[in-house]
Each structure stands twice: as structure tokens, then as C-alpha cells.
Amino acid sequence: MELDLILERDLTTFRPPAGTITDIHVHQNDDGKWYINVRLSWRGTMLFHVGLYDKKRLRLYKKLANAVRHIVLTYAHTGMIAVHPHPDLTDKEAF
């Protein structure tokens, strides 16, 4: 899935005062790593890949639990998180 990139600092420190993260999706690559996509109230209805804090590189996680922990603790997201595992992978270690 090819989406525009938003840096993590835009979700944490540069978020507008009334801006919210409306929904979050965690997807699994075909190599087993997980990445986060977000939809934001101040950016319309598009989904965005989440990049590193100060580098235009996609943030990847080896385990789903690490991605979810990061979402809850860093983004302070309390809503639902959609999880999309890769259909061809069944590695229990990745969860």
C-alpha cells in the first residue's frame, strides 16, 4: 500500500490543539514486520504511513505487541486499533 508519509513528531508534539487521530491500522509486510497507518482529523480522510520522528523513513516493528504498545503509550490513543496480518504469514513470534 503506497501512502503519503507523516512523521511521528507531527502526531505527538506538532499535533494541532483540537487535532485527533481518528483511526489506526497496523499492517504486516510480507517480510513479517509491522507498520502503522493513521487517519487524522486535521488532514482529511486519507490514511498516512507513520515515519520516524525526524527521518522520512517508515517505522517498522518486529512484533505486533511492540507496535500496539507504542501507539498506546506514545500517541495516547485509546480507540480501536485495526490489525491486518499478511495472509501468507503465520509466524507466532511476530505477534
Which domain, by its residues, includes 69?
Answer: 4-87
Is 9 contained in some domain? yes
State residue 41's pLDDT score: 95
Is 76 contained in some domain? yes
What is the C-alpha separation between 88 and 36, in angstroms, rounded? Answer: 19
Please name every residue paired with 37 in a beta bridge, in sequence order, or none if there are none.
Answer: 25, 49
For the chain, the residue count is: 95
Looking at residue 30, which CATH number applies to its domain? 3.30.420
Q: What is the pLDDT along the chain (95 residues), one digit of tens a residue?
A: 689 999 999 999 999 999 999 999 999 998 989 999 999 999 999 999 999 999 999 999 999 999 999 999 999 898 999 999 988 877 666 56
Is 94 contained in some domain? no
Residue 92 C-alpha cell reads as 507466532
Residue 2 C-alpha cell reads as 503506497
Tally the domains of the chain. Answer: 1
pTM exceeding 0.85: yes
State residue 88's pLDDT score: 83
Q: Count CA within 13 A, CB hemisphere, residue 94.
A: 20
Is 95 contained in some domain? no
The residue type found at 31 is: D
State residue 89's pLDDT score: 79
